[in-house]
Structure 1
Amino acid sequence: MAEREKIVIGMSGGVDSSVAAWLLKEQGYDVIGVTMETWDGEATGEEGTCGLSAVSDAGRVADVLGIPHYTVDFRKEFRENVIETFMREYESGRTPNPCVVCNRKVKWEALLEKAEELGAGLVATGHYARILRLPNGRYALERAVNAAKDQTYALYRLTQDQLARTRMPLGAYSKDRVREMAEQAGLPVAHKPDSQEICFIPDQDYAAFIGRLRGSLPPEGDFVNLEGEKLGRHKGIVHYTVGQRKGLGIAFGIPMFVREIRSETNEVVLGTGDQVFSRTVFCRELSYMAEPGFSEPRRVWAKIRYSHKGAWATVRMLGEDLAECLFDEPVRAVTPGQAIVFYDGDLVLGGGTIIKSRD
């Protein structure tokens, strides 16, 4: 390119974003690294993987690459948009996906704001996904070539403007190849372990995390079966999620699973293995990507959680921001608060937040 185009990349201090920065520089971009301070262990004593050590590692990588590096303090925005939502959802009996919220409300807004400040028209990340401009003029995500690392599920809420101004250079590579490139480039994070599932809770004990920040947890209540009969006592609804079998603290002689969490009555509903399957899923907070919306029932490949391989379903609108997703075959452990994401092949059509399910 005759004049190098300026691009701001979010650098987490991990190998993925570091290699993405290297690739962009190799492609001729004028690369600027930005690290967002989002969580430093305030009130918990546990930094996680998105705090000060991330800033240090990203700075070391920037030095090796010879690119400028800035740090943006977004701890307040992260606390308000991600942490508070995470705790409030668990306290309401739902299981949230904080990465979905963080990507749209914190990471991209922070990057775009900093990019404008620095005179850059583009931003980039180290996510495993591909961005396409479709014949209808819309931008959409396409699954990464490396299906095992594909991250489109957590990115379905990105807006058209955000997609138009974003580059994701890792979408065509495997994780092994990314580590090889990190070694080739001499990056000090080439062998750094991948981050935890939820970056701000390194031990993955969600209930303990909420208890430390809130100072208390929701009270004990009753385990009940689908008929409402009491089965025993639970230790507080934040300790459970739909589909859970281990850690119930009660023996039945047969495997029992969490079927539903009723915050209004402080009850955790248990069922047998065949009772945690549902065919119909209702969702709201809809976002559209490849298409502007579904005016007619739409056949889709739908994922109800990040690790779900997906299944065939039909989506139809019940209102402006309410949809029903009818799966061809029952799916296990549909969890309110999680995202349901719709695909057409590798293309992301959109998605929403699960509110409830039925058999």
Structure 2
Amino acid sequence: MKAVLFFVLFMLEVCVALPAHAVGEYLRIKDIARLQEWRSNQLVGYGLVSGLAGTGDSMRNPATRQSLANMLKQFDLTVPVDQIQSRNVAIVMIMADLPAFAQKGDRVDVTVTSAGDARSLVGASLMMAPLKGADNKVHALAQGAVSVGGYKYDANGNVLQKNHPTVGMIPAGAIIEVPVNTSMLDAPTSVRLKLSEPDYTTASRVARAINSAFARPIAIARDAGMVEVAVDEGESQRFVEFMTKLENVMIEPDSRARVVVNERTGTVVAGAGIKLSRVTIAHGDIKLSIVTENQVSQPTFIGRAGSGVHTVVVPSSRIEVAEANQSITQSGTSVGDLVQALNKVKVSTRDIIAILQSIKAAGALHADLIIQ
């Protein structure tokens, strides 16, 4: 019997004085905000794919047979549903995003997912299918060859699979039939900028930067996520030039300190310069090994053994303990420095995540800790 226990021991003392606001990076307004009217719309549809090599929906899926029979009727071919036995077709759901300012004839990418019990969509081609929006109107038509980044083959109980073969894409596979309403371009008197990350400081800086760039007070921060910009009559007639100047105004955005950890993958991502207050961390490494060896005890005189004398198995146990002590002391340490120090002493990523959680609970990590 052998049992192994791992426990790391090191001491870390971090003494930091939180510095003043460091100079950040200047970005364009178009990189951190969008027009309030500028939004995408989701489209969804239902259709059939063909060309599968026997990996389509089985006969247990009546929706597939009914859909194929309905499609054949459109070509003046009537086939009873109970006589359709093809496994080279499958029913799929089709999804796409209708971008802002999309016009008739534009193409968008579509995602195709199996809706039945098809084993794989490799080699599939989507037959023309309408895509509808939330208003239940057809906004696009999709068709084309499905690109699947995987495969699945099985025979006699053996399965060979790569990635997810029941989901695929058709690049530029849908053609827009109904353009997006762009009424905001018809001589607007104001525009509203929505910040990607709502923040009062950033909104205030955006308004000040716009007023400085246009040399007059035309922008005002309504709340943490929106800045309203007035457009006079002359600029509304040259709206494209106005927006070009507006979206290229440079500002220094502000943001909250964040540390993101992913327990599934063991990933730790921290913003630059996130500091730690004074904290002491104890973590150790004790390796305990218990090894049991079985020895055989034989009687001294085997030939003259009497009643009740027999061979006995005697267990012999040995305990070994190895302890490694490590100590690291740093001053002015950030989260990045802490992670590097832990990596030097070969602390696993999951232990680093646990340490960061403990530091946050102790109140020494001045950032939002996001667990994914």
TM superposition score category, shorter chain reference: under 0.3
TM, length-normalised to structure 2 = 0.19
Q: Which has the higher contact order (CA 8 A, sep 6+)?
A: 2
Question: Higher helix fraction: Structure 1 or Structure 2?
Answer: 1
TM, length-normalised to structure 1 = 0.19
Task: Compare CA radii of gyration and give the structure with the larger one.
Answer: 2
Question: Higher strand fraction: Structure 1 or Structure 2?
Answer: 2
